[in-house]
Amino acid sequence: MKTLLKADGTVTPSCSKSHITYTVHLHQECRELHAEFAYEPKTLEDEGKAEELIKEGLGQFILKEHRPSYNWRDFLPLQNLMTLSFDDENGFRGAGHRHDPVQHVTITTEEASPGLIPGNFPRGQLKIMINLHCIVTEQCRYRLHVWDGGKGE
């Protein structure tokens, strides 16, 4: 096992609908890639803030005459959503759009986690993108560990 990347960070609601891209240079072909990704918190616990965000969304996306039929509590709990996608020298290698706040994805020559394309990673640049779909908490911390080969540390 060879660690290719270890990263962590903190994002805020202003980061929603954006991406964080890490680029790793593969000095040789990679036949087995693993990524452990985790973020926290998953849910917004502040009900007052959740009510404010939900009502803002309803005002933005629901016609005024239809709003009385919606109860903002039906949309609880609000959740952060961050996912991973991969690109290599040959292009897009897939995206793991999972709601789990802790994820392990694998891509090998013969198989891959759902949403990802099996096959070797060629020598060159490997881009690992964290897709920040929605951040509803004041801060959300993430950790990413990517390695080539067998079991993780």
Q: What is the pLDDT along the chain (153 residues), one digit of tens a residue?
A: 899 999 999 999 999 999 999 999 999 999 999 999 999 999 999 999 999 999 999 999 999 999 999 999 999 999 999 999 999 999 999 998 899 999 999 999 999 999 999 999 999 999 999 999 999 999 999 999 999 986 544
Compute the C-alpha angle 149/128/35, nearest 5°: 35
pTM score, whole prediction: 0.91
Q: Which domains does the chain possess? A: 2-43+79-148 (2.60.120.380), 45-78 (no CATH)
d(CA 136, CA 14): 9
d(CA 48, CA 45): 9
